Amino acid sequence: MSENRKLVAILAADLVGYSRLTGADEDRTLARLRALRSDLIDPTIAVHNGRVVKRTGDGALVEFRSVVDAVRCAIEVQDGMVERNAGVPPDRRIEFRIGIHVGDVVEESDGDLMGDGVNIASRLEGVAAPGAICVSEDAYRQIKARLDLSVNDLGKMQLKNIAEPIRIYSVRDAAVLRGFPAAPRSTALPPRLSIAVLPFANMSDNTEQEYFADGISEDIITALSRLSQLFVIARNSSFTFKGRNVNVQEIGRVLAVRYVVEGSVRKSGNRVRITAQLVDATTGGHLWAERFDRDLTDIFAVQDDVTQQIVDALALNLSDGDHQRLATEQPGNLEAYNCFLRGRELLWRFAKAKNIQGRELLQRAIELDSKFAPAYAFLAFAEILDYVNQWSPTWSTALERAELLATRAVALDDRYPYAHWALGIVELYSRRHDGALLEAKRLIALAPNLAEGYENLGYALHYSGNSEEALACFDQAMALNPYYPDVYLQFQAQAMFQLRRYEEAIGILKQRLVRNPDTDVSRVLLAASYGHLGRFEEARFEWQEVFRVNPSYSLKHRREVLPYKNPDDFELMVDGLRKAGLLTGPSEPY
């Protein structure tokens, strides 16, 4: 009897953490899954002409006539799950991983499908992060010109029991991304008095003045973050909308804020024109708008005016402490401020070459104004980045330089939040954990809405051995910064790993790899997590990828640099690598 072979698109889906969810509350989990199938999953499959080949308790295999239909279906399901998970605690969310491949299959008499096409789709689902969609190169070739997608090339991977490595792509709906660039991890609903400051548009003739407009916006964000009554979205998230033509009401919905500040900056010679307006994002109505035409030397007074008028428009009743927090020292030299803005903007790129350039500009700012605390604080941060990443020949003494600079910043302006931010990081990497905790708490007291405060506190708690408390801090940082940098995921995963929650650590690390495939530290932790779970083949693959990404990666350096209070906490990772057979013995120079 001849085989019934055909070429089809196969979608494999799996529920993340099914055993954990059913173990915690089996009846509730199964009821939610049944409701999702009837209300979202099955109707979406039907709309896109899919056929459910088979279901397992935590997943499904679906056949489609075209890859386009399969990807559209997957996107609709994943977008629907983002909405349904809004406000649900992270440990109770239902999230799916999806893999899609197009290939030759054999259809059995009962309708089941067999063959490599099915196996590859299943393996693709296994490497997808929670909430993500991974497609094979064969599948991607058929959709890249037909669907508006945002694509992340994950490179070639050796999938379990598949003979040849397969190139894998993680795909998302680009139309959605233009409105809001990533599905934020919902953590807590912000209060009614919530605000986002968008990057001010650069209206100057010189496009190189972009940093100046960005700097004005960032300083206003920092000022508003000092007010305890407000919930202020972090720079990283509000700047996601830079250069995008997105409706203010849509921005308010996506960032979950009531108010949005937008404006523009035109710098010409020694004059500057700044326009700013405060918009109610629920209605689109303007609460306040003003134009400032000033000499460039008045730029700091304009920033103070904008902040104060936002406060007045929102009818905030400031306490004495709030007034004190808003009173900041300004540089006596405008060129020093200019160098500071350019240097700070370069540091936020987190790249070796940019860090070197930024450091030079911040040093110049200090030469021009030796009492400008922000320049000292961010120059200290540049030295910390050098120390952690070995970005210069003098990296080994960078921490000592950072301590001198951060201490000077605090001495010059004890109310400047980023001075305590920098000093807190120095204290942590100097393994003075109590000092790091104190500085992080001081930072939060000065700026209750600055995400960096909760980052610092979370890092200090994690390295002190209190990872459960650290996770709560990371949640708060993510709430303030919903489009957080991918390094947040690394620290969240480290905390999960330290708590022996390896499956959850793996899910988070896969999310980071989708956003940043070239991270060596996440691949090391992923290999260690697989080692502890006995998934040795996957551990070996990730360990190989570590040295593909960074041939000079050194566990020895990480052991020396990472500030664990208890050395055994670092050795937990080493132990996972040993279990997977990746470290051959105590004498190995790793």
* Phi, psi angle pair for 95, to nearest 5°: -130, 145
**Are 139 and 73 contacting, i.e. CB atoms less than 8 angstroms apart?**
no
Cβ neighbours of 28 (radius 10 Å): 12
Where does the chain hold its CATH 1.25.40.10 domain(s)?
486-590
Q: What is the pLDDT of residue 95?
A: 87
Q: What is the pLDDT of residue 324?
A: 66
Tell me the chain's radius of gyration from C-alpha atoms.
26
Which residue pairs, CB below 8 angstroms and at least 24 apart, start in 452-456?
452/234, 452/417, 452/418, 452/421, 452/477, 453/417, 453/421, 454/480, 455/488, 455/491, 456/421, 456/424, 456/425, 456/428
**Are 405 and 383 contacting, i.e. CB atoms less than 8 angstroms apart?**
yes
Q: What is the pLDDT of residue 178?
A: 36
Residue 182 reports pLDDT greater than 50: no
Q: What is the pLDDT of residue 108?
A: 83
Where does the chain hold its CATH 3.30.70.1230 domain(s)?
5-179
For the chain, what is the mean pLDDT?
85
Give CA torsion, residues 383, 388, 390, 393, to 10 deg.
40
Query: CA-to-CA distance for 417 and 424, rounded, in angstroms?
Result: 11
Residue 489 reports pLDDT greater than 60: yes
Q: What is the pLDDT of residue 70?
A: 93
Select the more confidently predicted residue: 188 or 449: 449
Q: Which residue has the tokens 């000033």?
A: 294
Query: CA-to-CA distance for 520 and 390, rounded, in angstroms?
Result: 14
Confidence of residue 7 (pLDDT cuts 50, 70, 90): confident
Residue 151 reports pLDDT greater than 80: no
- For 85-101, write each residue's pLDDT tens digit: 765 666 778 889 899 99
Residue 84 reports pLDDT greater than 80: no
b vs e for 393-403, b when ≥16 Cβ sit within 10 Å of the residue's Cβ?
A: eebeebbebbb
- The amino acid that residue 38 corresponds to is S
Residue 196 reports pLDDT greater than 80: yes
**Are 233 and 480 contacting, i.e. CB atoms less than 8 angstroms apart?**
yes
Return the sign of the alpha-carbon dihedral for residues 23, 29, 30, 36.
Answer: negative
Query: CA-to-CA distance for 534 and 113, rounded, in angstroms?
Result: 30
- For 200-212, write each residue's pLDDT tens digit: 988 887 777 788 8
- For 369-414, write each residue's pLDDT tens digit: 999 999 999 999 999 999 988 889 999 999 999 999 999 999 999 9
Lowest mean pLDDT across 139-148, 261-270, 425-434: 139-148
**Are 192 and 181 contacting, i.e. CB atoms less than 8 angstroms apart?**
no
* Phi, psi angle pair for 279, to nearest 5°: -120, 135
Q: What is the pLDDT of residue 148?
A: 66
- For 578-589, write each residue's pLDDT tens digit: 999 998 655 444
- For 332-378, write each residue's pLDDT tens digit: 788 898 899 999 999 988 888 999 999 999 999 999 999 999 999 99
Residue 252 reports pLDDT greater than 80: yes
Highest mean pLDDT among 3-17, 198-212, 430-444, 540-554: 430-444
- The amino acid that residue 461 corresponds to is L
Pick the CATH number of 5-179 from 3.40.50.300, 3.30.70.1230, 3.30.450.20, 3.40.1800.10: 3.30.70.1230
Residue 2 reports pLDDT greater than 70: no
Query: CA-to-CA distance for 166 and 148, rounded, in angstroms?
Result: 23
Query: CA-to-CA distance for 555 and 576, rounded, in angstroms?
Result: 13
Query: CA-to-CA distance for 240 and 480, rounded, in angstroms?
Result: 14
Q: What percent of the chain has pLDDT over 70?
A: 91
Pick the CATH number of 486-590 from 1.25.40.10, 3.40.720.10, 1.10.10.10, 3.40.718.10: 1.25.40.10
Select the more confidently predicted residue: 165 or 432: 432
Q: What share of the chain is helix, strand, coil (3-state, %, to 5)?
A: 55, 15, 30
Q: What is the pLDDT of residue 179?
A: 38
Strands 133-136 and 166-173, how do they pair?
Answer: antiparallel
Kindly indicate whether the domain formed by 194-326 is annotated with CATH number 3.40.50.10610. Answer: yes
Where does the chain hold its CATH 3.40.50.10610 domain(s)?
194-326
Tokens (6 digits) for 217? 């916006």
Q: What is the pLDDT of residue 237?
A: 84
- For 122-142, write each residue's pLDDT tens digit: 889 888 877 889 999 999 988
Which residue pairs, CB below 8 angstroms and at least 24 apart, start in 366-369?
366/336, 368/333, 368/335, 368/336, 368/339, 369/331, 369/332, 369/333, 369/336, 369/337
- For 494-509, write each residue's pLDDT tens digit: 999 999 999 989 988 9
Q: What is the pTM of this model?
A: 0.66
Q: What is the pLDDT of residue 162?
A: 82
Highest mean pLDDT among 72-76, 105-109, 245-249, 304-308: 72-76
DSSP notation for 466-516: -HHHHHHHHHHHHHH-TT--THHHHHHHHHHHHTT-HHHHHHHHHHHHHH-
Integer angstrom CA distances of residue 374 from 328, 330, 371, 409, 411: 11, 9, 9, 7, 11
Q: Quick one: average pLDDT of 255-270?
A: 87
Q: Identify the three-state secondary structure at position 162.
A: coil
Q: Which residue has the tokens 């997943």?
A: 59
Return the sign of the alpha-carbon dihedral for residues 317, 321, 325, 329.
Answer: positive
DSSP H or E run through 196: strand 194-197
- The amino acid that residue 304 corresponds to is D
Residue 564 reports pLDDT greater than 90: yes
